[in-house]
Structure 1
C-alpha cells in the first residue's frame, strides 16, 4: 500500500494547500466565505479520500470510504446551511473535524498495529495518526474559541496549510524511501 499511498497523501496535500492559500490570500474572512471554503475543502477532500481504491485491506478501504463520505456529507450540509452564519461554520467544522479526525486516528492505529515493522506502512500509519490528531485538535479549538468570524476562518486556513505541509512531507518521504528500501531488500536477497 505504501508504494501508492504517497500519491494519495500528495493529492490530499494539494487540496489542503488550495483551501489554505485561498483563505490566506483573500481578505474576505466572513462566515459565509469560511463556510464556502470549508464546503469545497470537505467535498473535494472527501471525494479524494473515498476514491482510495488501491487500498487492499477491506477494513482500511471501509474506513477511507466512511471518512470520505463524512467529508462529502459535511460539505453538502455546509452548502445547505450557508446562510447560517458563524454558528453554522463553528458547528459544521467542529462536527466534521471530530468525526473525520477520530476515523483517521482509528485508521492509523489499526494500520500501525497490523503492519508493525514495514517502514513504509509504519510511516503512513504515523502520518494518519498525526493528521487525525491535528484534526481532532481543530474540533476542540473550534469549540473553545471566541465566536469571531475572522478568527474562525483564519484558523481553518492555518489548519489547512499545516495539514498540507505535513501531508506533502509525508508523501515525498514515502516516495523517496521506497527506492532505498527496495534496493536494500535486493542487496539482502543477493547476499
Structure 2
C-alpha cells in the first residue's frame, strides 16, 4: 500500500479561467473610458471635466475588477482583482479632491503605478496559460505613471495618456478574451 505524499510547495494547477463575459466587462469599461476621453477633446482644458471623466472611468474599472474578483471566488488566496478594484475606487474617490493639475497627475500616476505593480505581482503569483496579459498591463501601468509624472503640470496630456492606456489595455484584453488557445497541461520537470 503506497503512502500518500503531501506537498507544501506552490500549486502547479493553472489558474481558474474567468468567464469571457466577466473579462469583457473590464474590456468594456476600458474602451468606453478611452473613447469618452478621445471624443471629448474640446472639454479637456477644464480641470473639473478632466477629474470627472477620470473618476468615472476609474470607478467603472474598479467595479469591473470587483466583478472579476467575485467570479474568482473558487481560487483561494488570490486577492489581486480585489486589490486592483480597491485601488481604482480609491483613486476615483480621491480625484474630486485633486484641485490642482499636479495633484490630478499624482493621483493618476499613483493609480497607474499601484495597478501596474499589482498586475505584475498577479503574474508572479498565478501560473498563467502562456498569455502575457498581466505583464503588458503591468508595464503599461508603470509607463502611465512615469508619463503622468513627466507632464504633471499639463492635465490635458495626463488625461490623454490615461485615455491611451485605456484604449491599448482594452484592445489587448479584448483580443485576449477571444483567444481560443487552451492552456497547456503542467509539466513536472523533477
Number of the residue aligned with 1:87: 102
Cα gap change, 1:146 to 1:71, in 2 (>3 Å):
closer
The alpha-carbon deviation at position 69 of structure 1 amounts to: 0.8
Aligned-partner Cα distance in 1 for 2:54–2:77: 28
Aligned-partner Cα distance in 1 for 2:29–2:20: 14
TM-score (normalised: structure 1) = 0.78
The alpha-carbon deviation at position 18 of structure 1 amounts to: 0.7
Whether 1:65 aligns to 2:94 is no
Whether 1:172 aligns to 2:178 is yes
The alpha-carbon deviation at position 2 of structure 1 amounts to: 5.4
> For 1:145, which of 140, 147, 151 is the aligned residue?
151
The alpha-carbon deviation at position 67 of structure 1 amounts to: 1.3
The alpha-carbon deviation at position 57 of structure 1 amounts to: 2.0
Cα gap change, 1:92 to 1:147, in 2 (>3 Å):
same
Aligned-partner Cα distance in 2 for 1:146–1:38: 15
Number of the residue aligned with 1:4: 18
Where does structure 1 lack aligned partners over 5 or more consecutive residues?
116-120, 186-191
> For 1:50, which of 51, 66, 81 is the aligned residue?
66
What CA deviation, in whole Å up to 9, does each residue of 1:103-135 have, x standing for no partner? 1110012113xx5xxxxx332xx2012111101
Pick 1 or 2: higher relative contact order, CA cutoff 8 A, min separation 6: 1
**Number of residue pairs matched?**
167
Decide which structure has greater helix share.
1
The alpha-carbon deviation at position 97 of structure 1 amounts to: 0.8
The alpha-carbon deviation at position 78 of structure 1 amounts to: 1.0
Report if the CA contact (8 A) 1:34-1:153 is conserved. Answer: yes
The alpha-carbon deviation at position 35 of structure 1 amounts to: 1.3
TM-score (normalised: structure 2) = 0.79
What CA deviation, in whole Å up to 9, does each residue of 1:81-111 have, x standing for no partner? 15x0312210110111111111111001211
Aligned-partner Cα distance in 1 for 2:37–2:157: 12
Number of the residue aligned with 1:20: 34
Aligned Cα root-mean-square deviation (Å)? 2.1
The alpha-carbon deviation at position 145 of structure 1 amounts to: 2.1
Where does structure 2 lack aligned partners over 5 or more consecutive residues?
1-14, 186-190
Query: Secondary structure of the equivalent of 1:96?
Result: helix
